[in-house]
Amino acid sequence: MPTARYLLTCGAVRNDAGDATSIVAAGGFGSAGQQSAAVEILSLASMSWKAGTSLPRVIVSARAVPFRNSFAIVGGHSSGLGDRDTVLVYDPAGAGSWKALPNKLGMARRQTVAFNVRKDVFPKCP
For the chain, list the domains and their CATH numbers.
5-115 (2.120.10.80)
Residue-wise pLDDT for 39-54, tens only, equals 999 999 999 999 999 9
Q: Which residue has the higher pLDDT, 109 or 34?
A: 34
pTM for this prediction: 0.86
Instruction: Characterize 100-123 residue by residue with b for buried, 16 or more Cβ atoms within 10 angstroms of its Cβ, and e for exposed.
Output: eeeeeeeebbbeeeeeeeeeeeee
Looking at residue 115, its pLDDT comes to 61
- 81-85, 88-92, 107-111, 113-117: segment of lowest average pLDDT: 113-117
Q: Are 66 and 118 within 8 A, CB to CB?
A: no
